[in-house]
Structure formats: C-alpha cells, structure tokens
Structure 1
Amino acid sequence: MSTTTPATAPAAEVTSKALHTGTSDVRTLLTRNLRTSGIYVAFVAIVALFAILTGGTSLSPTNITNIVLQYSYILVLAIGMVLVIIAGHIDLSVGSVVALTGAVSAVLVIREGVPWWVGVLAAIAVGLAVGAWHGFWVAYVGIPAFIVTLAGMLLFRGLTLQVLSNITLSPFPTEYGRIAGGFSNGLLGGNGFDAFTLLIGALAVAGYAVSGFRTRTARIRYAQPVESFPLFVLRVVAVGAVVMAFAWQLAHARGLPYVLVILGVLIMVYAVVSNRTVFGRQIYAIGGNLSAAMLSGVKVKAVNFWIFVNMGFLSAVAGIIYSARSNGAQPSAGNMFELDAIAAAFIGGAAVTGGVGTVMGAMVGGLIMAVMSNGMQLMGVDQSLQSVVKGLVLLLAVAFDVYNKRRAGASR
C-alpha cells in the first residue's frame, strides 16, 4: 500500500517512511532517480561483460591507459555538448571545429616554427571565434541551431582543407605531443607503482564523498526527499572502489596521464558551473521551459550565445588534444566526432527535448561508448558491426528517455 507524503513534510520523515513502509516505498526510493542511477549500473555491467569476453584484457593497466588516451577528446566534447542539449539545441559542427583548430595549430607550430604554446593559444582563439559565430546566428538572428551548426560543419571542414592545403602536417614538437601523451610518474615514488596517481584517486573519492554529503544535507534542509544514509554510504563506497581500482591500474601502467588531469579539471569546473551557478540554472530553465525562463527575467539570447562560445572553446581543447595524440593535423580529423559526443550526452541521461542532463552523466555515457568500442576492437569485431551496436545503444537510450516521459505523464 503506497503512502502519500505532503510536499511540506520534512525530508527525514520521507526517508524514514521509505525505510519502514514496505517493499513499494523501497522500490520508489530506488527508482526515483532511475534516469541518473541506471546509467551507472549499465556502465558497470558493460565493463564486466567485456572483461569476461576479453579474458580480462580490457581491464589491464595498459588497456585502461589506452582508453583514457584514445577517447579523452570525445569526453571533452561531451561536456560542452550536454550543456548545448540541456538548453534545447544541438551542435553538428564540433568535429569540423576539432579539425580546424588542430590545423591552425599545426600550421603555426610545424610550418611556421612558432613556439608550441602559441599554437595552443591560436587554436583556442579560433574555437572561441567559431563559437561566437554560431552563437550570433542562433541567439541573435534566431536561426535554429541544427541549421546553423550543419552549415558550420560544412564551412569549417572546407576551411580546414584550405588551411592545410589538403595535405597532412606532422610531426609536432615533443612538448606539444606531451599534452595528450605525457604522464606524471614518480613524483611520490612507489614500489612498482606510481603513488601520486593513487593519491589523486583518493582525493577524487574524498571530494565526491564531501560533495555528495553537502548535497544531501542541503536537500534535507529544504525538505526534499533523499536516499537513506546507509544507501548514501553504499553509493559512495561503490564509486570509491571503482575510482581507486581505476587509479590502481593507471599507477601500474605509466602513471597519471596529463590529459586525464585536463579532463578532470574540466569535469570539476563544469559540474560546479552547471549545478551551483546562476548561469547553469539558466541553461536548465531555458531547456525546461523557454517561455517561463523569459518571464522569469533570464536573458535567453545572452545565455544561448555563451553556450555556443563555450562549445567552441571545448572543441578547440579537443582539437589540441586530438592533434597532439595524432602528432599532426589531417584534413579528415574529427570525422563523426559530433555523433560520438551527442551519443554520450543522450546515453548519459540528457533529454531530447532539453532541460535534463548532467556533466557526470555525459561522462559515463562517453565511457560506455569508449568501453564498447575498445572491447569490440579487442575482440576483433568488424567495424561495420561496431557501428550497428553503437547505433542500437543510442536508440535504446533515447527510447528509455521517451518511456520515462510517458510514464511520468501517465502518473500525474
């Protein structure tokens, strides 16, 4: 028998009832956030599946390091893409922008011989300019983002061919290559492993626990329903075990990749921006209900403009990482990257209609795609079949989103 709890009831009372009124309330507690919690369960299941299918090779220290290096730029793109999707837009141009920014950096550093950091700054400047270009047409002219970025995909791919004169430029200096291929190893020593990597992993777990506890406390203060404390502890322990196992494997390979440090900083910054700033709340408001956001005084045009400027910046960061990883710039660089970033956001729980999604969800969605791609490569699965599997996973993720919406509508 279900229990109806008034909206004004204290959160502690809600939690207590959930623990003592039977199976139905426990089920409600566990499924209340199925959209966000289900993706973590799916990620663990997929990792376990490929570990079995590959005989443990997918979880080897060397392979885990390779996953970080090979898919870091997709995760960087996914951070920006999920914010674009939350606001109710889409960006189809990011792969072309990755190619263009890498090309600009390569021309300056390789062909013109300027210092590597000048190439990095130039790439970021180009990314910001591209983002401002898209933001102007979307926010101030009113053209749908789908059309603007589709045009941008063609435009900036063509500019990439022009900048590179349709040839590949390589190699970059060693310093530039370290952006995507460098490691921090031996700072704190360790007997057969890198202790510094383990320290960073432990700090990450501690930060996650403190942040989760503060969020839980804030929800109790505002009389919002929360999970029971034992479940909260269980979640923190589970996440901590996964993170430390990951750090342990990295520590026994080549240490902490520089690119993982870059990615970690971006995740922390954008998690704070999306959850704890006015700008982040405005993004959710625009995607959730545009009319209500406008009536509430949100400067919709300015917010939309800066969303695309930010996407351009992160595309430039991904372009730098990818060109450093490839040790050069190719006219075909970034091909289909936009689809991988979009898939990561949707698999991670972003809603097709906007207003829903998280940075961490997009990261987990991207990691699911990365683990599947890497696992199928280790198994020798044909490339065409890999595309089929990825497409089905994306379709199922969106179908799950639609199903949740219909179920929520029916329950009202």
Structure 2
Amino acid sequence: MTTTLPKRDPAGERGGTALHTGTSDLRTLLTRNLRQSGISIAFVAIVALFAVLTGGVSLSPGNITNIVLQYSYILVLAIGMVIVIVGGHIDLSVGSVVALTGAIAAVLVIGDGLPWWVGVAAAVGTGLLVGAWHGFWVAYVGIPAFIVTLAGMLLFRGMTLQVLGNISLSPFPSEYQQLAGGFLNGLIGGQGYDAFTMLIAAVGVAGYAVLAHRARVARVLDLQQVESFPLFACRIALVGLVVLAFAWQLATSRGLPVVLIVLSVLVIAYGLVTRRTVFGRHVYALGGNAAAARLSGVRTRRVTFWIFVNMGFLAGVAGVIYSARSNGAQPAAGTMFELDAIAAAFIGGAAVTGGVGTVVGALVGGLIMAVMSNGMQLMGVDQSVQSVVKGLVLLLAVAFDVWNKRRVRGDG
C-alpha cells in the first residue's frame, strides 16, 4: 500500500502536520511553552506598571541607560547560573567570586600599576581557577554542589579580605572604567540621537528575523507544528519594535553602552551553546535525568566540571564589570549577588529540579528584577519593602513552576 506523505511547505501555510490551527493558533502559541510566554507577558506588565507609577520616569532615556549600567553584572551571572541550574546544581559562591576577582584586578592595576588589561586577564583567570576548584569537588569527589559552593562562599570572601588587607582600593584608570561605564557614540553622526546605536539595533533585528525564519522553515520541513505566518510576522514585528524603541532611548541619552555589547555577545554565544552544541544538549540531559544521561553515554562528570568552570569564568567577567562600575574594589563587594542571579534564573523559567531553562529566560528574569528594583527606588520605597517584594516574586515564580509541572502531568 502506498502512503502519501503530507506536502512540506516552508511557508507553513499548506499541508502537513506543520499547519497552523486556525482560531486556536494564538492559544497554541501561548501554551506551547507556558513558562516563556508567561514570563514575557509578566515582564511587559511590570514595565508598564512602573511606567505608570513613576509617571514615565522609569522609561526615560537616562533611566533606561542607568538600568543597563547598574544591573549588567547580575545579568552576566544569571547566564552562568541558569546553565548550572539546568545541569541540576546550584552555585552559592558567585558573589564572593565577584569580590575576589575584582580585588585581584585592583591590586594589580591600582596597587602595582600594571596595565588595565592585565587586571582583566587576572580576574577572568582567577574565575576560571575557582570554577575548576568547584568542578573538581562536585564532579570527581562527589560532594553536592550546595555544600561545595557554600564552602566557597566563605573561602573566597575570606581570601578577598586577605588580598585587599581589609581595605578598599580605588580608583581604576579610565581605560578600565570604560568597560562598565563607556559608550560608543558619535561614530556616524545623528541629529539629537546616536545613529550608530540605531544602526546596530536595526542589524540585530534583521538578524533575529532571519534566524527566526530559518528556524521556522526547519520546523516545517520536520513536520512540526508552527504558528501561522501572519502571527509569526506579528511576533517578529513586535520584537523589532521593542528593540528599536529600547535602542532609541539609549540613542537619545548617551549612546550604546560598551557593557551592553559585552552582554549581547555573551547572550548570543551562550544561546547558541545551549541550543546548538553537543555540550548544551548534554547539560539538559544531565539535569533532566543524570542516570539516564550516564547510560546514554554522556560523560556526566566532565559535563559537570565544565559547567562550574564556565560559571567561574562568567563570575570573573562580572567581577571586572562590577569593579569597573564601582571604580574600585571593596571587601564587601558582591554581597547577595548569588541570590539575585538564582532568582533571575528561576523567575526566567528554570526548573528547580533541573533540565529546564534558557539563557533568554534568565535574561528576562534578571530584567524583571532590575526593573522592579529600579522602579521601587524611583518611588522611594524602603529597602526592607523591596526585599519583601523580591522574595514574594521569587516564591511565586517557583510556585508557578511547580503548578505547571502538575498541570503537564495531569496531577491536578
């Protein structure tokens, strides 16, 4: 008997299981991944809420630029933390590692007068060594990551005090400060705005649209369900408008922050690593079911080791950014950063049991924390109330994850 396969149509509008579902198409798009659609809607709602509560000040060009500068290091940490959590682990030491790497950079650059790039290299190298230290104990000795990194939090905070001699060091040379506070502007002109910032944003939107279309075509050819082309086009247009509006605010303020370029490169790179590489697939397999991954040939110890090395690397990068932003190194630097990074990952859709989470989701989760903190500061909300609100948001995010799992399993 001859079976006629459905016709493959790259446009996704004719034939095959890749057809859109008519009136239920929007519902399918929103519920196919409830974590990510929910967090995106929540982010838009929170931005709109604080825009109203602050009389539009939260969306002013200067304030948006300040959000990028003030919370960039948390977003860098969130990228590494979500990979750790997806792999089924946790890292409580990143705040102390940020302090230690910044302290080492300060001693070399401020104390010894070495070039700024030596301090950057030393900070990142220290982060890699810390990550290897954690990875060894977790992967090859078998001590739970919670215990290893809790010990690391104490160990590296003490080392920071020793390196700095329990005093602060400042200031860094201007070249080092530019890593966190510098801007690229005026390269191609613009009347009242920075045209270079808008050009970069336009190129980014075009690249996103091309990659999204290619991914959609690939799903259609694999006979997977996709949204209708008009809805797909609306989604791309909406993302493009948001990015261009964000870029316009930056362009009318001080231009394109250098740290935003660093963050964008990291997001793109780690997005590709987690979705397109063998290592990324192994991380998800490890977090989803470590025993099954091991039986499938995944070298779980090696994957775990490199997960922590990567976290150390990003903690070193965050240490450079934070020390450059604060223009010095302090013994108490990085306090509670690990909780902010963990909260960003969980709010962004990472599962408490591992195996689920995305870099983009962690970025959105970090931005939610940043917008809430910034908005409450603009409103003059007391610090204690801010902590209560952040705690409740984190609790609700994890509760949503638990509820969503029960819904999928049908447990009620």
Whether TM-score is above 0.5 comes out as yes
Any idea what the Cα deviations from partners look like across 1:147-170, whole Å, max 9, x if unmatched?
100000000000000000110000
1:326 aligned residue: 326
- Following superposition, the deviation at residue 219 of structure 1 comes to 1.5
Is 1:186 aligned to residue 207 of structure 2? no
Q: State, as a whole percentage, how many aligned pairs show the same letter.
A: 74
Is 1:409 aligned to residue 401 of structure 2? no
Secondary structure of the structure 2 residue equivalent to 1:16 = coil
Output aligned runs, 1:6-405, within 5 Å.
Answer: 13-16=16-19, 18-19=21-22, 23=24, 27-405=27-405
Any idea what the Cα deviations from partners look like across 1:24-77, whole Å, max 9, x if unmatched?
x65344311111111111111111110111011001110000000000000000
- Following superposition, the deviation at residue 341 of structure 1 comes to 0.4
2:3 aligned residue: none
**Unaligned runs of at least 5 residues, structure 1:** 1-7
- Following superposition, the deviation at residue 377 of structure 1 comes to 0.2
- The whole-number CA distance in structure 1 between the counterparts of 2:257 and 2:29 is 38
Contact 2:20 2:227 in 1 (8 A): no
**Unaligned runs of at least 5 residues, structure 2:** 1-5
Runs of 4+ in 1 over 4 A off after TM superposition: 8-12
- Following superposition, the deviation at residue 335 of structure 1 comes to 0.3
Any idea what the Cα deviations from partners look like across 1:263-312, whole Å, max 9, x if unmatched?
01011100000000001011011011111211111111111100100000
Contact 2:20 2:228 in 1 (8 A): no
Relative to structure 1, the CA distance from residue 206 to residue 89 in structure 2 (aligned partners, 3 Å threshold; closer, same or farther) is same
- Following superposition, the deviation at residue 14 of structure 1 comes to 3.8
Secondary structure of the structure 2 residue equivalent to 1:90 = coil
- Following superposition, the deviation at residue 140 of structure 1 comes to 0.4
Contact 1:18 1:29 in 2 (8 A): no
- The whole-number CA distance in structure 2 between the counterparts of 1:28 and 1:209 is 21
TM-score with structure 1 length normalisation?
Answer: 0.95
Contact 1:274 1:280 in 2 (8 A): yes
Relative to structure 1, the CA distance from residue 324 to residue 37 in structure 2 (aligned partners, 3 Å threshold; closer, same or farther) is same
Contact 1:348 1:363 in 2 (8 A): yes
- The whole-number CA distance in structure 1 between the counterparts of 2:93 and 2:218 is 39
- Following superposition, the deviation at residue 207 of structure 1 comes to 1.6
Q: Which amino acid aligns with 2:338?
A: E
Any idea what the Cα deviations from partners look like across 1:5-35, whole Å, max 9, x if unmatched?
xxx997854453611xx55x65344311111
Secondary structure of the structure 1 residue equivalent to 2:268 = helix
Secondary structure of the structure 1 residue equivalent to 2:367 = helix
TM-score with structure 2 length normalisation?
Answer: 0.95
Structure 1 window deviating more from structure 2 (333-342 vs 203-212): it is: 203-212
Q: Which amino acid aligns with 2:331?
A: P
Contact 1:15 1:228 in 2 (8 A): no
Contact 2:346 2:365 in 1 (8 A): yes
